Amino acid sequence: METLSRFLVFMYLFSRFVSGFTLQNLPVTSFEESYTQLFGDKNLFVHKDGKSVRLTLDERTGSGFVSNDLYLHGLFSASIKLPSDYSAGVVVAFYMSNGDMYEKNHDEIDFEFLGNIRGKEWRIQTNIYGNGSTHLGREERSNLWFDPTEDYHQYSILWSDSHIIFFVDNIPIREVKRTASMGGHFPSKPMSLYTTIWDGSKWATNGGKYGVNYKYAPYVAKLTDLVLHGCAVDPIEQFPKCDEGADEDIRAAQEISPSQRVKMGAFRRKHMTYSYCCDRNRYKVALPECVVIPAEAQRLRVHDPVTFGGIPRRHRNGKHRSRRSRVVGTESI
């Protein structure tokens, strides 16, 4: 019996090593408990189950929300269904930032979804800033292997003291390892989680060639399965208190399994269209953390030039505090 028990434990650990940590099992939180409306008035609706949200962009305004707590590391996730049809100029952002506390030296970890003209795909852009290093963008852009407007798909950020990993449906699409050469450019201060929809007409689609056409409004992004699984930080004491099991889950998720690494490589070869590491128009010499693969650099050159924009500063003024604003209205998604 003891031999059988050891064998089963071994098989469990081996399967976890091969297949990797499963993000689908993370604890889901309710909107009322964990988030505050940031802007948008009636353009933010909370489903009656309290766990699903609808964000709308129309002629009046976009909309967004922010976590009540600051976090120093964790796993952050949402299942998102993006607006369909003509969506050029529309930006949906799922990101972490502390711009409300550190205006001149803020940190940021970004998942941005960039809309497109009819018949063209949505693209995803990932980026990080550390210590106000906004002059050194570390953007990557990719297409997806599915239509993100047809169904919900899970988008996740892992942030630890040594790794940042972006996941789509449990597949890692980008890994950033902290290196000595990055210095303070690796995000290291407590951050809040933000989700917004807004007008990025000046840059988001073909460098601003195609902007938002409000004839097709309202643009609606739907979110569910919201996850904040990490180490919340008291804004005054600045001491992190981790959720039960968060430390272990963070360590497990940052260890990319062999199976996941194969999938990540395939994704990057087939779907990545831009990497700052390969942009010689922007950086004559690659930033020090870059490992440039010649064949990849050659392939990505066909997509130059690329125009970038920043997430509008929709952060709350002053010190971060847990405070819930009233969400105007509830509606089925």
Is the Cβ–Cβ distance between 93 and 311 less than 8 Å? yes
* Domain residue ranges in the chain: 35-303
Active site residue 108: yes
> Tokens 């040594």 appear where?
162
Q: Is 143 exposed, middle or buried (0-12, 13-18, 19+ CB in 10 A)?
A: middle
Q: What is the pLDDT of residue 196?
A: 98
Token readout for 145 is 């292997």
> What are the strands of the beta sheet with 35-39, ordered from one edge?
35-39, 63-67, 192-199, 90-97, 108-114, 123-129, 140-142, 272-275
Active site residue 244: no
Q: What is the CATH number of domain 35-303?
A: 2.60.120.200
Check 32, 33, 103, 108 and give the catalytic one: 108
Which residues, in sequence order, are CB contacts of 160 under 8 Å at separation 6+? 73, 250, 251, 254
Each of the 333 residues of the chain gets a pLDDT tens digit; together they read: 555 444 433 433 344 444 578 887 899 999 999 999 999 999 999 999 999 999 999 999 999 999 999 999 999 999 999 999 999 999 999 999 999 999 889 999 999 999 999 999 999 999 999 999 888 899 999 999 999 999 999 999 999 999 999 999 999 999 999 999 998 899 999 999 999 999 999 999 999 999 999 999 999 999 999 999 999 998 777 789 999 999 999 999 999 999 999 999 999 999 999 999 999 889 999 998 998 888 888 888 766 557 777 766 554 433 444 443 333 344 434
pTM: 0.88
Phi first, then psi: what are they for 124, rounded to 5°? -110, 140
Check 2, 103, 112, 296 and give the catalytic one: 112
Q: For 76, how many CA atoms within 13 A lie in the half-sphere containing its CB? A: 29
Q: For 266, how many CA atoms within 13 A lie in the half-sphere containing its CB? A: 8
Residue 147 CB coordination number (10 Å): 12
